[in-house]
Structure 1
Amino acid sequence: MKHAQDDPRDHPLHSPTGPTSPGRRRTGPQEVRRVLRGQGRRISLAVALAAAGSALALAQPLVVRRVIEAAGAGLATGGAIGLLVVLFLAQAAVQAVARYVLTRTGEGVVLGLRLDLIAHLLRLPMRTYDRSRTGDLIARTAADSTALRLLVSEGFTDAVTGLVGLVGVVILMVWLDWVLFLIVLAVIAVGSVAVASVLRGIERASLHAQQATGAMTAELERALGAIRTVRASRAEERETRRIGAEARSAYRQSVRVGAMDAVVAPAITLTINGSFLLVLLIGGIRVAGEDGSVADLAAFLLYMLYLMSPVAAVFQALSTMRQGLGALRRISEVLDLPGEPGPEPERRPARPAHDVPVLEFQDVRFRYEPGRPVLRGVSFTVPRRGHVALIGSSGAGKSTVFALAERFYDPDAGRVLFEGRDIRTLGPAEHRARIGLVEQHAPVLYGTLRENLLYAAPCADPAELDRVVGLAQLSDVVARSPYGLDTPAGEHGMALSGGERQRVALARSLLTHPSLLLLDEPTAHLDALNEAALRRSIRRITHECALLVIAHRYSTIRAADLVVVLDGGRVVATGTHDELLRTSEHYRFLARAQGTGDVLSG
């Protein structure tokens, strides 16, 4: 069901503050807290283990200093060397456990975000789906959440372990020789300025790369979703070029990220090596001039070696986190989208009277975009039992009536009542549980026939399943299928014919025992024999629930108890088929327009 849409630039995912303008929206503490929620204990444990590992590492140069001093004084060194070995092994074990905990925490964060995204994406208002590209939404759940793993499992891990080690090394270096430490600090500061400018470019390029990947996924989903049309139109090469252009854009941006990231590691290496050489040169001169001890210089140089690892880890973590922030921003944009509206305060009794219509439209007005109304004051009722046909030419508003009845949208004005209650006082799930919907294209999901039939009522018993299979004229389909109800339906139900898919959708809806069944031309894909059988089934169904049918075929309209005629978003006539032939000029026009008397315009 396609509608005229708002300008996509008005949508939050395409607004100037969204992905198309990465510099305006900043990822703040709120997004980071949302990423790390529920992981506080694991993070605290990992930090404590990392701190313990760093402490074990930092103690080793002091032991080496003691060994040198003992050897110079002619004292025994065996105990100190044994202690050094123990510290070394303990450090390796503790840091391995700490890294495992942080890695597991990172994976848990990614899993939590994916679950949140999946749940949120399946509950967005229909207007959001109208304005967004499905492939891009899928990319944010798959590719962007994978990229976010860099932010959490690698960037955060390196940042925590690096910072803990860095603080300890700095304290001990200042204690040993604050003059040499100031020299090291000055060199690192110069290198940091150079790296910082690169990091800003990495975040922008990473966001552009993720946007291009999302666009590529959307284009591929578009082509694969209509692959038969693509093949029939001989458009494979055109689609390859179209999708390939997005793939090349993603490649260019990813290479740009890699090029800037490649600068980070050499800059870090040059910074640390330069400071190491300066310390060695100045410290050696001081020792030669008897202004310092060899043991102190050896300990300081060892701390320089230890300093390389945390400094490199922190800088690399900043680079990695900059890349992950683009993914976090795109994911946050989706999670910040408002979900489907909940129920308003109840204003009607829960149990309707027997004479209350199952569905009532009261002066309903609706538009998908400003200035282009679709419904212009529609009013009609559907009784608790019976068969009502909704007819009209293309664009009259029939599909919109169904969308409002299912509460896919809320009216701009007027009211839609279900069993006497404004549907806005009902939760969407509560309301839809009592309405069945059979779309004209009758989507069938990947899985078996049984899984599709039980989709809306997974706990239905076998006897009830057999009943709706017979009622929807599916018995022959099941009988000739190689595995009966456990036969795969294929991708998008392509193992079934159009008529079979429609009957599967009908049986699926009947299994929920709805109060109202919405059918979008249920006989559109049936041959004459099956159409006659389905009409008999529909007549039996009217004893169980009300039917509102978008009708195109003359035979379907004649079978209805009441016909509602729409034109230009208004109800222009209601009555039985025979009454309307006598009283409605527009209905007679529609009847004449069908030519052979078989099909009314849809």
Structure 2
Amino acid sequence: MRHHGDSPPPAPTDGQPRTRSDWATLGRLVPYLWRYKWRVAAALAFMLGAKLSNVGVPLVLKRLVDAMQLPPGGATALLVVPVALLLGYGALRLMTSMFTELRELVFAKATQGAARSIALETFRHLHGLSLRFHLERQTGGMTRDIERGVRGIESLVSFALFNIVSTLVEVVLVLSVLGNQFDMWFVWITLAALVLYISYTVVVTEWRTKFRREANLLDSAAHTKAVDSLLNYETVKYFNNEDFEARRYDESLEGLRRARLKSQSTLSMLNAGQQAIIATTLVAMLWRATQGVANGSMTLGDLVMVNAFMIQLYIPLNFFGVIYREIKQNLTDLDKMFTLMDREREVADAPGAEPLVLSHGSSPALRFEDVHFAYEADRPILRGVSFEIPAGKTVAVVGPSGAGKSTLARLLFRFYDIQQGRITIAGQALQSVTQASVREALGIVPQDTVLFNDTVAYNIAYGRPGATQQEVEQAARAAHIHDFIASTPKGYDTMVGERGLKLSGGEKQRVAIARTLLKNPPILVFDEATSALDSANERAIQAELRSVARGKTTLVIAHRLSTVVDAHQILVMDGGRIVERGTHAELLAAGGRYAQMWALQQNSGQKPV
């Protein structure tokens, strides 16, 4: 339905994109998880159980080592005590793993449910945005943002709740044990190391986040170029531009390679610094414990316990940089998806809007009353257009490209809102009723037919999901495409390809006609409905369309005047205004613009320019 002359330009931007704090992004996520609050509570309980079991392991290990230091003749104890401690040690290890798996099992439904809810809400919201948004979007980059956002939800919750929080819980438990059993030096050394480690990790990670962000931007750009090029495969082939497209894609990949190399080199620096802090702390703690063993204030089991505690603490901390970076990136990805969800709808239902009310079995009247519209304020498209299509009648709109003909159909479907005037169906203003009910009453056969990459049957049945196979075939027969479908090896199960590229232009248009016939709405819009058909098929389809339109309110947008001679009224548009109106005979008799166009087409057999 897009014509070069009256196609909408991109909307002006609102300035720089609004930034949202990480805490605000988390706040947006919490309500989705709160729907599963009992699962969250159970998961936290299992996490606490796992950490208590994990902290208990070094305590049992200390007892086990101390129990092995027996006086001569303690053979019985040598057999009994270590066996019980070993069993306890194994049980705690098992409980740690079991509580961890139970935590994952219980919480999986919450994370997957939240991801599903957010993805579905984003999908619905994108369908609710205006045509302007979808004309200016970059599909590849947008889909990649949504994909990363959905994938980031699970990682974000897992990292934040079960890595950061659980590690902090374990730190508190370990510090409590060390402070209670030994002198406070062990606590201060551990705390100092943790503060230094976390500070270093946060500072360096924040610094290198820009490299990761740059890599993601270049990744989205490369993906957008690849998708756009593949979607326009035929155009690339027409102009022999495969090498040009490959160079464009390679430029994006080269930028992505450099950004990822920067990211990797700074990651290596981060990891090296973290390991230096961990090694220094371990040496300090073990030196202190070794002194305690030497002077008799600590046992050999205490030394083993301190070492075990440090290893248990620093294993998760060893991944703290990666976890922190992933959390920051997941928050960024999630924020991009929330930003899409926050995009305001340019065309929205009025508060309290009611569905369009139509008399059952009858077609409504359609009116445009002094309609003014512009895609941009300084470029008006419609200038005071007024006309009526009486109930059950057909009105045709003709005129040169850029006159505003297809804009009428866009406004009728409320892809945009008018700036002045009124459009009514059965006396009800479009802006006062729900968009869904308006579109339910409308059916269109567009000039540019785009099909889903599915079967022929699916694309026809899209006009009325749930239609029977018999009804689908009946619509195909009415659109004169049944014989073609039946002649293919897979019949109605034939795949049409991306955007229907496996079908010819005429075949796609006949599928679109069948789809609209199956919907059987009270108002029909034919926007150059037969432009891609040959003369023989066009005459057959025109006869069928006239039969289908009988008794329905019909708006026909056409270039070829021969297709609209039977219309009850013909409107001639030029420069966004109606310059002539009347029947075919009346307009010819008037000898005006329509008569000139008719003569030109009769003489040349071409569409008017």
The two structures have a TM-score, normalised by structure 1, of: 0.91
**1:45: which partner in 2?**
42
1:438/1:506 contact within 8 Å kept:
yes
More deviation, 592-601/382-391: 592-601
> Is 1:497 matched up with 2:494?
no
Give, in whole Å, the separation in 2 of the partners of 1:352 and 1:584: 40
Counterpart pick for 1:115 among 97, 110, 120: 120
| CA apart distance, 1:100 | 4.6
Distance 1:399 1:349, change over 3 A: closer
1:230/1:236 contact within 8 Å kept:
yes
| CA apart distance, 1:487 | 2.5
Counterpart residue identity of residue 341, structure 2: L
> Is 1:508 matched up with 2:508?
no
1:390/1:563 contact within 8 Å kept:
yes
Query: 3-state DSSP class of the match of 2:245?
Result: helix
**2:435: which partner in 1?**
428
Counterpart residue identity of residue 173, structure 1: L
Distance 1:105 1:254, change over 3 A: farther
Deviation by residue 1:512-561 (Cα, 9 ceiling, x = unmatched):
12111111112212222111112211221222412211111121132322
Deviation by residue 1:490-533 (Cα, 9 ceiling, x = unmatched):
33222322112111101101111211111111221222211111
> Is 1:522 matched up with 2:517?
no
Distance 1:251 1:325, change over 3 A: farther
**1:276: which partner in 2?**
282
Deviation by residue 1:153-176 (Cα, 9 ceiling, x = unmatched):
455432243233222222222222
Query: 3-state DSSP class of the match of 2:311?
Result: helix
**2:396: which partner in 1?**
389
Give, in whole Å, the separation in 1 of the partners of 2:354 and 2:521: 23
2:355/2:433 contact within 8 Å kept:
no
> Is 1:26 matched up with 2:26?
no
Deviation by residue 1:265-286 (Cα, 9 ceiling, x = unmatched):
3333222221110112233234
Distance 1:61 1:480, change over 3 A: closer
Give, in whole Å, the separation in 1 of the partners of 2:515 and 2:356: 30
Deviation by residue 1:390-415 (Cα, 9 ceiling, x = unmatched):
11111111111000111111111111
| CA apart distance, 1:478 | 2.7
Distance 1:356 1:58, change over 3 A: closer
| CA apart distance, 1:592 | 4.4
Counterpart pick for 1:240 among 246, 254, 261: 246
Deviation by residue 1:91-124 (Cα, 9 ceiling, x = unmatched):
2322233345456654444344333332222222
Deviation by residue 1:137-184 (Cα, 9 ceiling, x = unmatched):
222222443355543445543224323322222222222232221022
**1:21: which partner in 2?**
none
> Is 1:181 matched up with 2:187?
yes
Counterpart pick for 1:360 among 367, 386, 399: 367
Deviation by residue 1:27-77 (Cα, 9 ceiling, x = unmatched):
323333256453433333222212111101212222233344445565732
1:54/1:164 contact within 8 Å kept:
yes
The runs of 5 or more residues in structure 2 that have no matched partner are none
> Is 1:534 matched up with 2:531?
no
Distance 1:348 1:142, change over 3 A: closer
1:554/1:598 contact within 8 Å kept:
no
Give, in whole Å, the separation in 1 of the partners of 2:193 and 2:168: 18
Give, in whole Å, the separation in 1 of the partners of 2:290 and 2:449: 82
Give, in whole Å, the separation in 1 of the partners of 2:288 and 2:379: 79
Distance 1:182 1:546, change over 3 A: same
Counterpart pick for 2:260 among 235, 254, 257: 254
Counterpart residue identity of residue 61, structure 1: P
1:448/1:489 contact within 8 Å kept:
yes
1:388/1:547 contact within 8 Å kept:
yes
More deviation, 63-72/519-528: 63-72
**2:332: which partner in 1?**
326
**1:304: which partner in 2?**
310
**1:398: which partner in 2?**
405
Give, in whole Å, the separation in 1 of the partners of 2:153 and 2:354: 45
1:42/1:102 contact within 8 Å kept:
yes
Deviation by residue 1:186-231 (Cα, 9 ceiling, x = unmatched):
2332232221112213433333322222222222222122211111
**RMSD of equivalent CA atoms:** 2.7
**2:93: which partner in 1?**
88
Counterpart residue identity of residue 43, structure 1: V
2:11/2:133 contact within 8 Å kept:
no
Distance 1:151 1:255, change over 3 A: farther
Counterpart pick for 1:137 among 118, 139, 142: 142
**1:378: which partner in 2?**
385
Give, in whole Å, the separation in 2 of the partners of 1:345 and 1:308: 58
Give, in whole Å, the separation in 1 of the partners of 2:442 and 2:197: 66
Identity %: 27
Distance 1:348 1:99, change over 3 A: closer
1:162/1:313 contact within 8 Å kept:
no
> Is 1:224 matched up with 2:230?
yes
Counterpart pick for 1:64 among 57, 61, 65: 61
Counterpart residue identity of residue 319, structure 1: R
> Is 1:163 matched up with 2:168?
yes
Size of the aligned set, in residue pairs, is 593
Distance 1:245 1:358, change over 3 A: farther
Moved over 6 A (4+): 353-356
Give, in whole Å, the separation in 2 of the partners of 1:261 and 1:106: 28
Counterpart residue identity of residue 518, structure 1: V
Query: 3-state DSSP class of the match of 1:142?
Result: helix
More deviation, 484-493/509-518: 484-493
Give, in whole Å, the separation in 2 of the partners of 1:342 and 1:523: 33
**2:151: which partner in 1?**
146
Distance 1:231 1:129, change over 3 A: same
Counterpart residue identity of residue 598, structure 2: A
**2:51: which partner in 1?**
54
Distance 1:461 1:109, change over 3 A: closer
Distance 1:498 1:348, change over 3 A: closer
**2:206: which partner in 1?**
200
Distance 1:252 1:119, change over 3 A: farther
Give, in whole Å, the separation in 1 of the partners of 2:372 and 2:250: 44
1:563/1:577 contact within 8 Å kept:
yes
Query: 3-state DSSP class of the match of 2:564?
Result: helix
Query: 3-state DSSP class of the match of 1:368?
Result: strand
**1:336: which partner in 2?**
342
Counterpart pick for 1:267 among 255, 266, 273: 273
**2:571: which partner in 1?**
564
The runs of 5 or more residues in structure 1 that have no matched partner are 19-23
1:343/1:428 contact within 8 Å kept:
no
Counterpart pick for 1:124 among 129, 147, 157: 129
Query: 3-state DSSP class of the match of 2:580?
Result: strand
| CA apart distance, 1:251 | 3.0
Give, in whole Å, the separation in 1 of the partners of 2:209 and 2:32: 18
Give, in whole Å, the separation in 2 of the partners of 1:344 and 1:54: 52
2:356/2:433 contact within 8 Å kept:
no
Deviation by residue 1:360-419 (Cα, 9 ceiling, x = unmatched):
111111111221111111111112213211111111111110001111111111111112
More deviation, 471-480/286-295: 286-295
Give, in whole Å, the separation in 2 of the partners of 1:513 and 1:71: 88
Give, in whole Å, the separation in 2 of the partners of 1:377 and 1:589: 24
Query: 3-state DSSP class of the match of 1:367?
Result: strand
| CA apart distance, 1:7 | 5.2
| CA apart distance, 1:353 | 11
Distance 1:163 1:192, change over 3 A: closer
Distance 1:462 1:245, change over 3 A: same
More deviation, 100-109/39-48: 100-109
